[in-house]
Amino acid sequence: MNRPHSLSARLFALFTIAMLTVAATPVLVPEVSQDRISIRGDFNGAQLLLFGAITYPPGTRNTDQADIVVVLKGPVKSIVVREKQQIAGIWINAASSEFRSAPGFYAVASSKPIDEIVDGKTADIYELGLHHLQLSPVGAIDNRELDRFVDGLVDLNSRGNLFKNLPNSVKITNSVLYQARINLPASVPVGDYTAETFLIIDGRVNAAEVKDITIEKIGMGRFITNLSQNNGFLYGLIAVFISVFLGWSAGYLFRKM
């Protein structure tokens, strides 16, 4: 990932494309530093660089009114959010709410705070911002209660670094080149990710592009996960064998000593 030469070469190539492209409306040319992130045994998080160029049609001036929003979104799953309440002195899960499409990871980086770039309606349509996610709640529950659960989910995942709101973190250079860095925590879920880039001028989305990113376990971790999912019996036997072997050999060694 740390290859400054290749990165600047790529940026230069993008810049050249930006200069040469002929189009009627501004076009985005996005790029990501890695389209595949591998989780190895020593994985302790990663940093993703999302960058690219805005190309303007010939004859129009580059505008410094242009804003960029980058959304990195992880695998969408059905989840249940449970809420603890104090009942008879102890805290237990008392209420719950199901969501059909909650992303396992969601980061939004923008050149200005989202609410200064677009109105609430546009933010809802493009899912820009932590409180504009389309989580598809299940069942008819009233809005106040739903908001409570959404707030709970957003708060929990924000503190776990799985949901991120990163205003003012997209740097735009000469109204043409942009870049944003997003840190992924060690607990980042594996799966298929999308990096969406939006070009927004005067509160309207002018261009949008999507890049796919895959986060996967490799090596031993992948083998262990697959085995545990596909052949629990064999996995269990191996776990028991390791346990018996380590226990027995420690006993043997200490008796010799």
Partner 1 sequence: MDIYLPIANLSVNAFVIILLGGLVGILSGMFGVGGGFLTTPLLIFYGIPPTVAAASASTQVTGSSISGVAAHMRRKGVDFRMGAILVAGGLVGTIIGTGLFQILQSWGQIDTVINVLYVLMLSSIGGLMFKESLQSVRALRAGKPLPARKRRHHPLVANLPFRWRFYRSGLYISPIAPFVLGLLTGILTMLLGVGGGFIMVPAMLYLLGMGAQVVVGTSLFQILFVTIASTMMHSMTTRAVDIVLASLLLVGSVTGAQLGAKFAQRMRPEYLRLALATMVLLVAIRMALGLGFQPDEIYTVQPL
Interface residues toward partner 1, by CB under 8 A = 39-45, 77-84, 86, 89-93, 96, 98, 102, 149, 152-153, 155-157, 186-187, 189-190, 217, 220-222, 224-225, 228-229, 232-233, 235-240, 242-244, 246-252, 254
Taking the complex as a whole, the smallest distance from the CB of residue 128 to partner 1 amounts, in Å, to 22
Residue placing its CB nearer to partner 1 in the complex, 9 or 237: 237
Give whichever of 16 and 243 is closer to partner 1, judged by the CB atom.
243
Nearer residue to partner 1 within complex by CB, 76 or 117:
76
Q: Least distance (Å) from partner 1 to the CB of residue 99?
A: 9
Using DSSP's 3-state secondary structure scheme, residue 14 falls into helix
Q: Which is nearer to partner 1, 20 or 90 (CB)?
A: 90
Number of other residues whose CB lies within 10 A of the CB of residue 55:
24
Nearest to 67 by CA among 207, 211, 195, 223: 207
Which residues have C-beta within 8 Å of that of residue 14, sequence separation ≥ 6? Answer: 29, 31, 51, 52, 53, 177
Q: Please classify residue 180 by burial: count the beta carbons closer than 10 Å to its beta carbon, then call 0-12 exposed, 13-18 middle and 19+ buried.
A: buried
The nearest distance, CB 130 to partner 1, in angstroms, is 14
Q: How far apart are CB 156 and partner 1 at their closest, in Å?
A: 5
Minimum distance between the CB of residue 74 and partner 1, rounded to whole angstroms? 12
Q: Choose among 171, 176, 137, 175: nearest CA to 153.
A: 137
What is d(CA 107, CA 70) in angstroms, rounded to the nearest whole number? 8
Closer to partner 1 by CB, 210 or 239: give it. 239
DSSP3 helix / strand / coil % (the chain, rounded to 5): 35, 40, 30
Q: How far is the CB of 57 from partner 1 (least distance, A)?
A: 45
Residue type at 182 in one-letter notation: I
Residue among 13 and 239 whose Cβ is closer to partner 1? 239
Roughly what angle, to the nearest 10 degrees, separates helices 219-230 and 232-256? 120
Among candidate residues 65, 97, 64, the one with its CA nearest the CA of residue 79 = 97
